[in-house]
Amino acid sequence: MNIKKLKELEESFFEYYPKGFEDEKLIKTSKLFNTPKFHKLAKNSFELKNFSNIEQICEDFFTILLKSPLISFYEGDILKKALKSFTNFEKDMLSIYLQDILHNDIESSFEDFIELLSSKNLAKWQIITLIPYYFEPNKNYFLKPSTTKNIIKYFEIEDLKYNSKPSFEFYKNYIKILEIMKNSVRSELRDDNARFTGFLRMAMK
């Protein structure tokens, strides 16, 4: 991992945006993503007590995906078709896996979650990681394929090969590296994990 490149990007970023993401040149863009709104929505929707209502959990899961500016507009039809195609058993499994991921150990049901969504053509990094990120934006990471590939290449991250097929092994190893990188920059970039990777994406351009 090339930390020197990271520090150079950090310096350039704050030269252009002295106030970081609170800079006038970035505030409008930041508001478009409205992370606080989606964080609150995810926390309220996926409170532990709500998992007794499986139908509502599944509906909220897809509603947030469809509304999120982090999910491509073109994936909307796939998401809508998938929601209609879920059987009661599949909804039950989605609820169980999501509860495990959000309230227990993310590793415990991550692969099962991937397998379930794969059967609906939804096993994509941005779909797999969005709700966990919104639920705990300081802990979990939202993975966008293009940004992830560019980070690995630009920062010369060895022994980590990107795969479009999600897996917990890659997620675990990748976020370990991101945590090291995040803890190497100024505190203004650490409060939101998607904001941190957004900083990397913008600074690499």
Structure confidence by residue, pLDDT tens digits, 77-128: 889 888 889 999 999 999 999 999 999 988 989 999 999 999 998 999 999 9
Q: For 169-182, what is the mean pLDDT? A: 95
Q: Which residues contact 87 (CB under 8 A, 6 or more apart)?
A: none
182 and 189 Cβ atoms separated by less than 8 Å: yes
The more confident residue out of 42 and 29 is 42
Least confident range from 25-29, 54-58, 89-93: namely 25-29
Q: Which residues contact 75 (CB under 8 A, 6 or more apart)?
A: 124, 126, 127
**Confidence class for position 27, pLDDT limits 50, 70, 90:** confident
CB atoms within 10 A of CB 184: 14
CB atoms within 10 A of CB 171: 21
AA identity, residue 87: T
pTM of the model: 0.92
